Chains A and B, each alone.
Chain A
Amino acid sequence: MRMREVKVMQSVMRANDTLASANADRLRQAGVFAVDMMSSPGSGKTTILERTLEALGGRVGISVIEGDVATTRDAERVRARGAQVVQINTGGACHLDANMISHALDDLDLDGGDILFIENVGNLICPAGYRLGEAERVMVLSVTEGVDKPEKYPAMFRSCSVVLVNKIDLLEVLGLGLEEFTAEIAKVNAGIQIMPVSALTGEGMDEWYAWLEDGLRRIGAAYIQ
Chain B
Amino acid sequence: MHEFSLMRDVIGILRSSAVERGIERIESIRMTVGSLSCAFPPALETAFNALSQGDPLLEKARLDIFEQDIVIRCESCGTEAELGGNEFVCRGCCDTAVSVIRGDELVIDSYRGR
Give residues in A with beta carbon < 8 Å to B: 1-13, 15, 92-95, 125-126, 128-129, 151, 154-155, 158, 186-191
The answer to whether B2 and A93 touch across the interface, beta carbons within 8 angstroms, is yes
Please list the 10 inter-chain residue pairs (A to B) with the smallest Cβ-Cβ separation, ordered nearest first: A190-B96, A129-B38, A1-B114, A8-B108, A126-B2, A155-B36, A187-B87, A12-B106, A151-B86, A7-B110
Min distance, Cβ A185 to any Cβ of chain B, angstroms:
11
The answer to whether B27 and A158 touch across the interface, beta carbons within 8 angstroms, is no
Min distance, Cβ B28 to any Cβ of chain A, angstroms:
9
Task: Choose among A2, A13, A128, A191 the residue with the greatest number of B CB atoms under 10 Å from its CB.
Answer: A13
5 pairs across A/B with beta carbons < 8 Å? A3-B112, A12-B10, A92-B1, A129-B38, A158-B88
Q: Which residues of chain B are near A13, meaning CB under 8 Å? A: 106
Measured in the bound complex, the distance between the Cα atoms of B2 and A29 in whole Å is 31
The answer to whether A6 and B13 touch across the interface, beta carbons within 8 angstroms, is no
Q: Which residues of chain A are near B6, meaning CB under 8 Å? A: 12
Min distance, Cβ B86 to any Cβ of chain A, angstroms:
5
Measured in the bound complex, the distance between the Cα atoms of B6 and A94 in whole Å is 12
B24 nearest in chain A by CB position: A1
The answer to whether B88 and A190 touch across the interface, beta carbons within 8 angstroms, is yes
A5 nearest in chain B by CB position: B112
A156 nearest in chain B by CB position: B38
The answer to whether B110 and A8 touch across the interface, beta carbons within 8 angstroms, is yes
Q: Which residues of chain B are near A158, meaning CB under 8 Å? A: 36, 88, 100
Interface of B, helix, strand, loop or mixed by DSSP: mixed
Q: Which residues of chain A are near B87, meaning CB under 8 Å? A: 187-188
The answer to whether residues A4 and B21 also contact, given A9-B109, A92-B1, A129-B37 and a CB cut-off of 8 A, is: yes
The answer to whether A7 and B105 touch across the interface, beta carbons within 8 angstroms, is no
A124 nearest in chain B by CB position: B38
| 4 additional A-B residue pairs with CB within 8 Å, beyond A8-B13, A10-B107, A11-B105 | A4-B23, A6-B111, A6-B112, A9-B110
Q: Which residues of chain A are near B23, meaning CB under 8 Å? A: 1, 4, 6
The answer to whether residues A12 and B86 also contact, given A4-B113, A94-B2, A125-B38 and a CB cut-off of 8 A, is: no
The answer to whether A190 and B21 touch across the interface, beta carbons within 8 angstroms, is no
Measured in the bound complex, the distance between the Cα atoms of B110 and A33 in whole Å is 39
Q: Answer whether residue B5 sits at the interface, using C-beta atoms and an 8 A cutoff.
A: yes
Q: Mark B89-107, 1 if CB is under 8 A from A, else 0.
A: 1000000110010001111
Contact of A155 among B38, B107, B109, B111 (CB under 8 A): B38
The answer to whether B109 and A8 touch across the interface, beta carbons within 8 angstroms, is yes
